[in-house]
Amino acid sequence: MEARLCLIFFLLPILSFLSLSDAHDLQIVNAERRIDLTSHIVKVFLTFKVENTGTSPASEFLLAFPPAQADHLALVKAAVATGKKKKKTYIPLDVNPTELPDAPNGAKFASISLKNPLNAGETATFEVLLELTHSLEPFPAEISQSESQLVYYHDSAIILSPYFIKQQTTFIKTPSTRVESFSRVDPTNRVGTELKYGPYADRAPYSFSPIIIHFENNNPFAVVEELVREIEVSHWGSLQITEHYKLAHAGARHKGVFSRVEYQSRPTISGISSFKHLLALLPPRVHSVYYRDEIGNISSSHLRSDSRKSELEIEPRYPLFGGWKATFVIGYGLPLQDFLFESPDGRRYVNFSFGCPLLETVVDKLTIKVVLPEGSQDPSAEVPFPVEQHLETSYSYLDVVGRTVVVLEKTNVVPEQNTPFQVYYTFKPFFMLAEPLMLASAFFLFFVACVAYLHMDFSISKS
Ligand SMILES: *[C@@H]1O[C@H](CO)[C@@H](O)[C@H](O)[C@H]1NC(C)=O
Ligand SMILES: *[C@@H]1O[C@H](CO)[C@@H](O)[C@H](O)[C@H]1NC(C)=O
């Protein structure tokens, strides 16, 4: 007993030392960061060559974010590179938000779990992709129809990290060569549409050096403030999708009057930051497509379909300028056999894509409602990232017990998240007969009533 206690007291400090040592025994030998500012979704590609300079294996690698950036972070993906130069392959790794007790200036963290711990003295190369939304601030905040849109981007010239970084360089790509101003943290260079910060050598953990870049960005700032996608499963052969959009232009607000004449006669200058149409990527074999708003059908949409995908080009009734909004509905049908499958354990599942079909669009609040056939039981959803889930019941024609609706909600959704998700459920085939049986019995009763009526004699006098 005593020996055991002794062992525990002896081991405890070592264990806590091990977990603490993780963060400080790693060092970044070389870091390269490429920030893509060409659309309104900021994409950051990071490559870290990491060395374990400690004595124990490391099982996680930490990413740090300034608090303002953490609020707009829509996606973090990480992978580890294996193999030599030509035959490099990338193995995806799990990333989870985490907290550190001694985080300076409210820095936020994400932890990358390493499948194979990094042994003392070894190096590994990690690739990280970050996507940030609402991170370009229009300045001036209001522009007229003939002006170009300018925006600010804030970041740090030095990569924020809990590790010592021996060598690092940052490249920033702007959409055009028009860059009004940029901070200098020497060495800083600008060539064409690329800004280069660094190389910087030997930066201590949590080094930070704020920079501001003021540049032109006339890409469509298409933001769906709210999107409700309803996916109705009918075992009679179809999947019916209805999507309710509240679309906004989140760029610099439009000021002054809108001149359609000028807009149409000088399309390359006038309203250059506005957008007229959007492209929706729909699954192949889509049918009965419609596109309407509160006034009615909008005919100005074009559907191109081939065996791999369908492209729907939609054109709202008016071009969208900064601060303008459009509300509309897109609906379509799909063959059920492309999306409904049976899993090995006998349950059925719907396999559909999460996210918004509009290209290069951010969704602030996305709600997906999967309406299962009447009589479905034990629904469960599998989504590759955390979402809010709950169940509802809806009623449609001829429903008796109602249909189970699996509701999934997520905020801050980017196109990268248009990945497949599944909703599993069990179903007794008997329920498929419920509605026809109900109809048949209704007709039967009606005929019985008719026959009875015809055989009755309502005359007063006997003929
Ligand atoms: C709207 O379009 C759909 C599909 O093209 C059509 O079925 C429907 O009748 C149209 N409605 C009106 C009011 O034109
Ligand atoms: C869901 O569909 C995608 C293709 O659309 C496919 O790659 C994936 O394997 C499917 N998932 C399941 C669980 O069937």
Secondary structure (DSSP) of 335-381: EGGGTEEE-TTS-EEEEEE-S-SBTT-EEEEEEEEEEPPTTEEEEEE
22-216 shares its CATH topology with 222-435: yes
Ligand 1 nearest atom to the CA of residue 288, by list position: 4
Give the nearest ligand 2 atom to 353 CA: 5
Residue 188's pLDDT is what?
Answer: 95
What is the four-CA torsion angle of 171, 174, 177, 180, rounded to 10 degrees? -100
User: CA angle, 435 as apex, 433 and 436 as ends, to 5°?
Assistant: 65
Mean pLDDT score, 132-152:
92
The pLDDT assigned to 260 comes to: 81
* Average pLDDT, rounded, for the chain: 87
CA 91 to ligand 2 centroid distance, Å: 19
- pLDDT tens readout for residues 303-315: 888 888 899 998 8
Q: Are 202 and 343 in contact (CB under 8 A)?
A: no
Outline where DSSP puts E strands in 221-267: 222-234, 238-249, 253-254
Q: Whose alpha carbon is nearest atom 14 of ligand 2?
A: 351
Looking at residue 236, the DSSP 8-state letter turns out to be: T
Place of tokens 């596109």: 291
Band (pLDDT 50/70/90 cuts) for residue 197 is very high
pLDDT tens-place string over residues 370-424: 999 888 889 999 999 899 999 998 887 766 678 899 999 999 999 999 999 999 9
* Distance from chain centroid for Cα 459: 73
Whether 12 shows a pLDDT value over 60: the answer reads: no
CATH (one of 3.30.420.10, 2.60.40.1730, 3.40.140.10, 3.20.20.80) for 222-435: 2.60.40.1730
Q: What's the full length of the chain, in residues?
A: 463
Integer Cα distance of 332 and 287 in angstroms: 6
Residue 463: predicted pLDDT: 55
pLDDT tens across 94-105, in order?
999 999 888 888
| Ranges 237-241, 299-303, 365-369, most confident | 365-369
Ligand positioned closest to the Cα atom of 295: 1
Measured by CA distance, the residue closest to atom 9 of ligand 2 is 420
CA 213: distance to chain centroid? 26
pTM (2 d.p.): 0.84
Domain boundary assignment for the chain? 22-216, 222-435
Residue pair 50/126 in contact (Cβ under 8 Å)? The answer is yes
Q: What average pLDDT does the segment 167-172 reach?
A: 97
Res 317: pLDDT? 84
Question: Is the Cβ atom of 386 under 6 angstroms away from ligand 1?
Answer: no
Q: How far apart are CA 83 and CA 282, in angstroms?
A: 37
> For 75, how many CA atoms within 13 A lie in the half-sphere containing its CB?
23
Convert the pLDDT of each residue in 259-301 to its tens digit.
Answer: 888 888 777 777 888 888 889 999 999 999 999 988 877 776 7
Q: What is the pLDDT of residue 443?
A: 77
Give the Cα separation of 180 and 188 in Å (integer).
15
H helix intervals, 152-200: none
- What topology does CATH give the domain 22-216? Immunoglobulin-like (2.60.40)
Q: Is 422 in the pocket of ligand 2 (CB under 6 A)?
A: yes
